Amino acid sequence: MGCLISQLVAKFAFFPPSPATYELKRRDDGCFAAVSAAPPQSTPIPYGEDGSALDVLYLDTKRGNKIVAFYLKNPYARLTLLYSHGNAADLGQLYDLFVQLKANLRVNLMGYDYSGYGASTGKPSELNTYSDIEAVYECLQTEYGVSQEDLILYGQSVGSGPTLHLAAQLPRLRGVVLHSAILSGLRVVCRVKCTLCFDMYKNVNKIRKVKCPVLVIHGTEDDVVNWFHGNGLWKMARDPYEPLWIKGGGHCNLELYPDYIRHLCRFIQEMENMTTKIRLRKIKQSLRLQKKSAVCSNRCCKIKLSRPKCCQCCPKPSCAKCFWLPKCPEWRPRCPEWRPSCPKWQFKCPECLRPGCMKCSFECQCFNCSCRSINCSCW
């Protein structure tokens, strides 16, 4: 039943452009080229001046699909941005945005199409998107030598699902950007407090596992994914960066606001300047706070009660029979030298015989101890 519901949810979650906005062609050198499918036909997607600014890749996933990825190289870049797009776009529509982000942010940029999108094979599903982003990350490692310390993950709308899936597995990731992200698929449709088994993209659970800085960008007038999704993810992040709430922004137009690129540039620059020493210091601080909270939660208030040692009522510190009044026949002082006829032993106050009286206290003057406290070990 849950599998059928998941398949039904997937049909309403993914809307790949039909037909695709681009096609793949093989060049004379055996590499792939992306060709626009819109009129005029067979118009190649432009390259840089050196002809190598765009690499078109055709990658195999562990679920048996082949996906298309675009890699845009910036010669001045220190970091790489892995971009996961929304549910109603493909690489042909996003190419111009990728070029702008590559130049303005001064990063290398890798974008990819999910299974069933663009020229990628297979059908779109939650599990397929997870295997898609894992295949792209493996390509970045093997083909371009990108380590997780130099990688920033970017997820827009549904793309926040595979983004947080991968981010939760990379403890040394440089940063994460969540653009109009979702708490979960079901929470987009209705507000539920619990996570159901057939829910998809359970970001509400995975955000707590992300250890790197997280930037959240969301429009206040988003009528597709409400603003409370972005706010909730930002509050649950372990290392939240200053969020960007774009006033009046919708779901698909945040890139048009000047604050978008300005705030994103500042985030990228701070991630570039974040050295390994600073990151280790932040990790140690978080571990120290976790240790303190664990100690505080395990600490209990211990109240020591002094009471006569009675065999019948020791487990009952509030026993009215013998705790306050020394009338119990089993009660004896602990001092082995104590005798009722001991001339050196006496009550300090003849009016009161209560050992816990605030007015007076026992006074032991036996030869074995020199203290005058009822808490003496000889009692």
Residues 6+ apart with CB under 8 A from 265: 104, 105
- Burial class of 41 by CB neighbour count within 10 A (0 to 12, 13 to 18, 19+): exposed
DSSP SS3 for 14: coil
Q: Is 157 a catalytic residue?
A: yes
Separation between Cα atoms, residue 219 and residue 159, nearest integer Å: 16
User: Which of 85, 165, 251, 263 is an active site residue?
Assistant: 251
Separation between Cα atoms, residue 290 and residue 311, nearest integer Å: 44
The answer to whether residues 282 and 238 touch, using CB atoms and an 8 Å cutoff, is no
User: Which of 6, 120, 125, 157 is an active site residue?
Assistant: 157
| Of 212, 211, 217, 192, nearest in space to 202 by CA | 192
Q: Is 251 a catalytic residue?
A: yes
| Of 351, 355, 378, 353, nearest in space to 367 by CA | 378
What is the distance of C-alpha 284 from the center of its chain?
17
Q: Residue 8 phi/psi, 5° resolution? A: -65, -40
Cis status, amide bond into 19, omega within 30 of 0: yes
Q: Is 179 a catalytic residue?
A: no
Strands 151-156 and 175-179: parallel
Residue 68 tokens, joined: 């298309």
DSSP 102: H
| Of 374, 370, 368, nearest in space to 337 by CA | 368
User: Which of 222, 229, 263, 361 is an active site residue?
Assistant: 222
Catalytic site residues?
157, 222, 251
